[in-house]
Amino acid sequence: MSERLKDCTAIITGGARGQGAAEARRFVEEGAFVLIADVLDSEGQALAKDLGDSAVFQHLDVTDEGNWAAVVDRLTDAGRTIDVLVNNAGILLFDRLTRSSREDFERVMDVNCTGVFLGMQAVASEMKKQQSGSIVNISSVAGLQGVGFQFSYSVSKWAVRGMTKSAAHELARDNIRVNSVHPGLIETAMLDQFPENLQPKVESFVPMGRSAEAAEVAELVLWLASNESSYCTGAEFVIDGGLSVG
């Protein structure tokens, strides 16, 4: 362990399982204190218990401003700074423009887009006080290209990409970095939502010939959270095995 995040406090949304849990584990291994935030209470509590004194769990619906205020208050009331935010929470929907309802579209946008906005807004003032911070927004390769069978999801991830750049421009003078990560196919519960006949077909388009493990994405997120990426902001980091190269 090199303690790349020594004395750092991080919030990871969607941190109870999958990619978020992998990030939480790596952050703790590198010396961070992690607040695991999720709507999956039992899984989040179990992970926090497993990680010991270096982690706590807090229920968080990312679309709820009051929930976000409670997350920030829990850390600041304990005398902690907020050094890193990973906006990892998200939901997937298979839909098309002509076969989607307004209700479904707004549900995806609320979690994947508004949740990221509220998260950045909630931590920005604390990061400004300390004149430092790193925000990592998890977008997707679907935020780099059009995806006809994931209309709402793709739109939401394009929005995350745009918000990241606008926030990075605004917050740079306060030494707050904001970057986006664009994963391809990752071995998580979200990938399990793919129809059985679709997953192998999509994987066949990956030049590296496989989906990624969540731990591989966690390494990239760790680097962006750490000072090793101190001159990176407003950037897009693609981790997709070559899927987006065409």
Structure-block tokens of residue 25: 């584990």
Across-strand partners of 84? 10, 134
234, two tokens: 């407003």
Q: 33, 153, 194, 237: which one is catalytic?
A: 153
Catalytic residue flag (residue 231): no
Contacts of 246 (CB under 8 A, 6+ apart): none
Residues 6+ apart with CB under 8 A from 147: 153, 154
**Of 179, 198, 183, which is closest to residue 140 (Cα–Cα)?**
183
Count of residues for the chain? 246
- What are 6's two structure tokens? 């020594």
Antiparallel, parallel or unpaired: β 176-183 and 84-87: unpaired
Active-site residue set: 153
